A and B are shown apart, each in its own frame.
Chain A
Amino acid sequence: MTGAPVRSRGPDIASRTLRERSVPGRRAWSFPELDVPNIDVPQDHGRRSAPGLPEVAETDLVRHFTRLSQINYGVDTGFYPLGSCSMKYNPKVAEAVAALPGFQRLHPHQPEETVQGALELLWRLERALCEITGMARTTFQPPAGASGELTGLLIMRAYHTKNGDPRSKILIPDSAHGTNPASVTLSGYRAVQVPSDQRGLVDLAKLRDLVDQDTAGLMLTNPNTLGLFEEEIEGIAAAMHRVGALLYYDGANLNAIMGRVRPGDMGFDVVHMNTHKTFATPHGGGGPGAGPVAVNAKLERFLPSPVVGFDEESGRYFWDGERPDSIGRVHGFHGNFGVLVRAYAYVFGHGREGLREVGERAVLNANYLACLVSEAYPLAFPGQPMHEFVSTARRLRRHGVRAMDVAKRVIDLGFHPSTVYFPLIVEEAMMVEPTETESKDTLDAFAEAMLQVSREAVEDPHLLHEAPVTTPVRRLDEAKAARELKLHW
Chain B
Amino acid sequence: MRFAPHTDEDVQAMLAACGLSSLDDLFAHIPSNLTLDGELAIPEGLSEMELVADLRRLAGRNRHLDDLVSFAGGGAYDHYVPAVVWALAGRSELYTSYTPYQPELSQGVLQALFEYQSMICELTGLEVSNASLYDGPTALVEAVHMATGATGRSRVLVSETLDHRYLETLATYGAGEHFSVETIPVKSGVTGMTAIGEDVAAVVVQHPNFFGNLDRPREVFEAARAAGARAIQVFDPLSLGILAPPGELGADIAVAEGQMLGNHLSYGGPYLGIIAARGQDLRRMPGRIVGETTDVDGTRGFVLTLQAREQHIRREKATSNICTNQTLMAVAATVYLGWLGPHGLEELGRQCMAKARYAAERISDLTAAELMWPRAEFFKEFTVRVDRPGVVQASLLDAGFLVGPMVGEDGLLVSVTERRTREEIDRLVKAFGEALS
Check if B291 sits within 8 Å of A72, measured CB to CB.
no
Contact: B341 with A55, CB < 8 Å?
yes
Contacts of B76 in A (CB 8 A): 107-109, 333
Chain A interface residue count, Cβ-Cβ cutoff 8 angstroms = 201
Selected interface stretch from A86-94, A207-215, A392-400, A450-458: A86-94
Q: Are A93 and B52 in contact (CB under 8 A)?
A: yes
Choice from A53, A70, A95, A147 contacting B93 with Cβ under 8 Å: A70
> In residues 131-147 of chain A, which contact B (Cβ within 8 Å)?
131-132, 143-147
Contact B93 A72 (CB under 8 A): yes
A276 and B324 form a contact (CB under 8 A): yes
Which of B54, B78, B165, B295 is A474 in contact with, Cβ under 8 Å?
A: B295
A-binding segment of B9-17, B153-161, B428-436: B9-17
Distance (whole angstroms) from the CB of A180 to the closest CB of chain B: 8
- Determine whether the beta carbon of A472 is less than 8 Å from that of B104: yes
For residue B183, which residues in chain A have a CB less than 8 angstroms away from its CB?
none
Q: Does A106 contact B (CB under 8 A)?
A: yes
> Contacts A71-B107, A107-B76, A178-B318: A331 and B134 contacting too (C-beta < 8 A)?
yes
Provide the residues of chain A in CB contact with B257, threshold 8 Å: 332
Given known A333-B165, A364-B23, contact A102–B109 (CB-CB < 8 A): no
Select A368's contact among B17, B55, B56, B119, beta carbons within 8 Å.
B17
Cβ–Cβ contact B402 & A472, under 8 A: no
CB of A73 within 8 A of CB of B93, answer yes
B94 touches A28 (CB 8 A): no
Take A111-B394, A259-B39, A482-B305 as given contacts and tell me if A72 and B109 are in contact as well, using a CB distance cutoff of 8 Å.
yes
Q: Does A481 contact B (CB under 8 A)?
A: yes
Does the CB pair A146–B322 fall under 8 Å?
yes
**CB < 8 Å neighbour of A68 from B108, B292, B313, B402:** B108
Residues of chain A lying within 8 A (CB to CB) of residue B308: 482
- Minimum Cβ distance to chain A for residue B21 (Å): 13
Q: Which residue of B lies closest to A109 (CB)?
A: B405
In the complex, chain B residues 309-341 whose Cβ is within 8 Å of any chain A Cβ: 310-318, 320-329, 331, 334-335, 337-341
Interface residues of B in 105-140 (CB under 8 A from A): 105-109, 111-115, 117-119, 121-123, 128-129, 131-132, 134-138
User: Given A73-B106, A287-B326, A478-B293, do A339 and B267 touch, yes or no (CB 8 Å)?
Assistant: no
Residue of B nearest to A111 (CB): B397
Given A29-B339, A61-B88, are A286 and B74 also a contact pair (CB < 8 Å)? Answer: no
CA distance A371 to B240 in the complex (A): 58
A378 at the interface (CB under 8 A from B): no
Q: How far, in angstroms, from A331 to B137 measured CA to CA in the complex?
A: 7
Chain A residues near B187 (CB, 8 Å)? none
Across-interface contacts of A335 in B (CB, < 8 A): 268-269
Q: Of residues 5 to 44 in B, which have CB atoms within 8 Å of A's CB atoms?
A: 5-6, 10-11, 13-15, 17-20, 23, 26-27, 29-31, 34-36, 39-44
* Residue A261 interfacial (CB < 8 Å): yes
- CB-CB under 8 A from A144, the residues of chain B are 134, 322-325
Residues on B with beta carbons closer than 8 Å to the beta carbon of A262: 36
Contact yes or no, B397 A114, CB < 8 A: yes
Please determine whether B10 and A439 come into contact, CB atoms closer than 8 angstroms: yes
When the two chains form the complex, which single residue of A71, A182, A265, A283 contacts B316, counting CB atoms closer than 8 Å?
A182
- CB closest chain-B residue, reference A97: B55
The residue from B13, B70, B244, B305 contacting A440, defined by CB atoms under 8 A apart: B13
Name the A residues within 8 Å of B222 (CB-CB).
none
Residue of B with least CB distance to A365: B14
Q: A154-B175, A337-B266 are in contact. List 17 more A-B contacts (CB 8 A).
A: A39-B353, A51-B345, A54-B338, A56-B341, A80-B97, A100-B59, A104-B266, A150-B321, A178-B311, A178-B312, A179-B323, A233-B31, A360-B26, A383-B29, A417-B102, A475-B104, A487-B290
**Can you list 15 contacts pairing A with B, beta carbon distance less than 8 Å?**
A45-B214, A50-B343, A52-B122, A53-B337, A62-B84, A71-B107, A93-B1, A106-B266, A108-B75, A117-B59, A154-B176, A286-B113, A333-B75, A476-B104, A485-B305
